Structure 1
Amino acid sequence: MKYLMQQTMRWFGPNDVVSLADIRQSGCSGVVTALHQIPVGEVWTIDAINERKSMIESYGMDWTVVESLPVSDEIKKRRGNFQTHIDNYKQSIINLAECGIEVITYNFMPVLDWLRTDVNFVMPDGSKALYFHHLDFVVFDVFLLKRPLAEADYVADILAAAKERYDQMPASEKERILKNAMLGLPGSSDAFTPEQVLKALESYSGIDTQKLKEHLFTFIKEIIPVADANNIKLAIHPDDPPFPVLGLPRILSTKQDVEDLFNAVPSVNNGLCFCTGSFGARADNDLPEMLNLFCDRIHFLHLRNTKRDEAGNFYEARHLEGDADMFSIIKAIYKLQQKRGISLPMRPDHGHQMLDDLQKNAYPGYSAIGRLKALAELRGLEYAISKMND
């Protein structure tokens, strides 16, 4: 028997402009979603989970992967109501398991889950992609957000270039960069304000890389017995972007970071959401090597591609054309599935906005047609690799 990836797409719930009917027509067998309406830190009830599950099943698809069950900043800082939030997290795990969920995705990024400076970067063919422009980010950090002591994080020539860029920017460009960097959680149309972000950054005072890692390990040690008892696989998403931003530590960006986590909590249910875009935004991450090394602990796949440059910029490339060798990646995934005798859930991530979707107000990176194109390419690549191994 051959084991091929379970094809899914992310769905942001009833208000998503990409409907369940759209996703079903793409050929997906399942949906990856979350209960965005429940405040972070509160319990996901069985009734709420089953209501969402029934919606999905009514379109002939399954819901077995949660993305994401968010970890509150209180837990990440181990301050305030963190213990109540951990207890609620445990109960949510139990409830999700009772409803048939198999994988829970989460992340441990402080304050902001992800950052881009341009969510409408126009590609040569007219489609739009997500883009991280390093100098624009410095402009945002130092001159727009005005984070205290931000200048200390950058060398003099970068600060000078950012100041020159800021001085020459029209007001509309400054507003655009600020708006893009302040985007809220995926699936939400709400944006953070600079005041909210500065207050949140201040609340992380005294928490460095080592301290945040300790908090992650402690959190996993507290919840893994519940996951083990309920046969739930935890899949942590790597940092995006995979380097420190806004003076905050990043603790899941490299092979060594993953090894540290797995060594700290050896349960196989303490696993990874392997995101080829997040890991691939760093040139020092060898993705096929990491897939082989962590093959037993990978529970979910985000397949996307980025294109980097030496200045620290990167954009979301076509799935088969970025810096990541997608052929070698899919080949490694195919082999690990045969080795483990499982079909891993995957979703095509961060597709380009293109064709008719250019006129629709989809969440950046999550329009339908671009992801459908990516799904077809990835599906075809895996099929070809599977035939090569007949």
Structure 2
Amino acid sequence: MRWFGPQDNVSLLDIKQAGAKGIVTALHQIPVGEIWTVEKIEERQQVIRNSGLEWTVVESLPVHEEIKRAAGNYLKYIENYKISIKNLADCGIKIITYNFMPILDWVRTDHNFSNEDGSKALLYNQDAFTYFDIFLLKRPNAENDYSDKEKEKALQFGNKLSENGKELLFKNVLLGLPGSTINFTAEQILSFLDNYAHINNEKLRENLIYFLSEVAPVAAAYDAKLAIHPDDPPFSVLGLPRIVSTEEDIKTILLAVPFNSNGLCFCTGSLGADPKNNLEKIIDDCGDRIHFLHLRNTFRENETIFRESEHLIGDTKMERIVEKILLLMNDRKISLPMRPDHGFLHDTDKEKETYPGYSLTGRLKGLAELRGLEMGIAYKLKELA
């Protein structure tokens, strides 16, 4: 289960009692681009071991924006990244997740959508995002990225919002990076966007492949695995390029740098948010390069709205995904680390301040369901063998 560090209101004891065996975490206190030293890694390891758990996966070792843009001090930051990979591997932590999404991490327009039972879920509404982009953020020339119909629907959506509703939408979209309690400001985002004005999908992909050509051999030398997280959502936001959204994107990245250390974090939620993605085929075609699993589900209400659903009930047939993963692990003779993701916010946790999607009870429910599903399918496969 993911833990954001000592400041996380979900404690290691909570996670241990939820039935998790390993911890997914990162050194969020270290500025992006700086080296993760052995001393800092071991310090965090000891805290986790003192609770009876083990740090098994890094999520994430963030990639500096200058690497993504191949600008400024990007060569220095790549060298720092290599050293951090070595230091993590020397400490026995060999699965390293990262993403290559420009500026923002995952994006949702509503962090508290009310389910029928009163629990809260994360939701993305394209009309809301379009309204934010054009009328709240006022990104220069943003209106050129949308059709007249999209702009009209966005304006209709925005006209129904109160001033508090507009402020909340603004806050939701500009959520800070995981592990941070500080939101981006409009001034920061607009400034960052200027830096990407001349970077399209092709250029960003070129920069990613150069980065991987440098760091994947280092990871291979230390028997470490790099696992890129897909774009979330799997389409462009704020006019920014997206290059890890489809099976074709994934294959291009894996083929361009053919080290096994260059792999995928298979996130069923991110990839599943695009109905055109065939998740089972991605497992079939790229399974030997899957190093980490995010198992969560989404439900698409219509072509403009998707939301997080229960882990086992949504557009993704989780029972088929888990069966394929179990067969894959059997073929590869490994056990892939898995975590639940983006659980609902239940009333038992509503007074605790947690990062959206990362309250305890919702993730505990997801973990229990996934473990039960895994055990049932594993038993069935054993009987059929």
Per the normalisation by structure 2, the TM-score is 0.98
Partner of 2:354: 362
Partner of 1:65: 57
Specify which of 299, 304, 310 is matched with residue 307 of structure 1: 299
Does 1:83 find its partner at 2:75? yes
Shift of 1:60: 1.2
- For residues 158 and 327 of structure 2, the distance between their equivalents in structure 1, rounded to whole angstroms, comes to 49
Partner of 2:207: 215
- For residues 329 and 97 of structure 2, the distance between their equivalents in structure 1, rounded to whole angstroms, comes to 19
- Indicate if the aligned counterparts of 1:355 and 1:369 stay in contact, CA closer than 8 A: no
Partner of 2:107: 115
- Indicate if the aligned counterparts of 2:122 and 2:307 stay in contact, CA closer than 8 A: yes
Describe how 1:182-261 pairs up with structure 2 within 5 A.
Answer: 182-261=174-253
Specify which of 367, 372, 377 is matched with residue 380 of structure 1: 372
- For residues 244 and 381 of structure 2, the distance between their equivalents in structure 1, rounded to whole angstroms, comes to 33
Partner of 1:96: 88
Secondary structure of the corresponding residue to residue 302 of structure 2: coil
- For residues 138 and 23 of structure 2, the distance between their equivalents in structure 1, rounded to whole angstroms, comes to 40
Partner of 1:172: 164
Does 1:293 find its partner at 2:266? no
- For residues 154 and 128 of structure 1, the distance between their equivalents in structure 2, rounded to whole angstroms, comes to 30
- For residues 289 and 89 of structure 2, the distance between their equivalents in structure 1, rounded to whole angstroms, comes to 19
- For residues 326 and 209 of structure 2, the distance between their equivalents in structure 1, rounded to whole angstroms, comes to 30
Deviations 1:207-238 (Å, cap 9, x if unpaired)? Answer: 00000000000000011121111111000000
Partner of 1:54: 46
- For residues 253 and 342 of structure 2, the distance between their equivalents in structure 1, rounded to whole angstroms, comes to 26
The letter for the 2-side match of 1:56 is I
- For residues 247 and 158 of structure 1, the distance between their equivalents in structure 2, rounded to whole angstroms, comes to 15
The letter for the 2-side match of 1:280 is G
- Indicate if the aligned counterparts of 2:217 and 2:261 stay in contact, CA closer than 8 A: no
Deviations 1:294-327 (Å, cap 9, x if unpaired)? Answer: 1100000000000013332110000111100001
Shift of 1:167: 2.9
The structure, 1 or 2, with the larger RCO (C-alpha pairs under 8 Å, 6+ apart) is: 1
- For residues 266 and 225 of structure 1, the distance between their equivalents in structure 2, rounded to whole angstroms, comes to 10
Deviations 1:154-193 (Å, cap 9, x if unpaired)? Answer: 1101101212322332101100100001101112111000
Deviations 1:51-86 (Å, cap 9, x if unpaired)? Answer: 000011111111121000000110000111111111
Does 1:150 find its partner at 2:142? yes
Secondary structure of the corresponding residue to residue 248 of structure 1: coil
Specify which of 329, 333, 356 is matched with residue 337 of structure 1: 329
Shift of 1:355: 3.1
The letter for the 2-side match of 1:272 is L
Deviations 1:328-354 (Å, cap 9, x if unpaired)? Answer: 000001100100011100000000011
- For residues 67 and 326 of structure 2, the distance between their equivalents in structure 1, rounded to whole angstroms, comes to 36
Deviations 1:19-62 (Å, cap 9, x if unpaired)? Answer: 00001111111000000000000000100000000011111111
- Indicate if the aligned counterparts of 2:21 and 2:53 stay in contact, CA closer than 8 A: yes
Query: After the TM superposition, which segments of 4 or more aligned residues of structure 1 sit over 6 Å from their partners?
Result: none
- Indicate if the aligned counterparts of 1:238 and 1:279 stay in contact, CA closer than 8 A: yes
Does 1:138 find its partner at 2:130? yes
Partner of 1:126: 118
Secondary structure of the corresponding residue to residue 389 of structure 1: helix
Partner of 2:37: 45
Instruction: Name the Cα RMSD after superposition.
Output: 0.8
Shift of 1:250: 0.4
The letter for the 1-side match of 2:265 is C
Greater Cα shift, 166-175 or 51-60: 166-175
For structure 2, the residue ranges without an aligned partner over 5 or more in a row are none
The percentage of counterpart residues that share the same residue type is: 55
Shift of 1:277: 0.1
Specify which of 22, 44, 51 is matched with residue 14 of structure 2: 22
Partner of 2:342: 350
- For residues 203 and 68 of structure 2, the distance between their equivalents in structure 1, rounded to whole angstroms, comes to 10
- For residues 338 and 39 of structure 2, the distance between their equivalents in structure 1, rounded to whole angstroms, comes to 27
Partner of 1:276: 268
- For residues 378 and 99 of structure 2, the distance between their equivalents in structure 1, rounded to whole angstroms, comes to 32
- For residues 45 and 236 of structure 1, the distance between their equivalents in structure 2, rounded to whole angstroms, comes to 22
Deviations 1:261-299 (Å, cap 9, x if unpaired)? Answer: 011001111000000000000001111111121110000
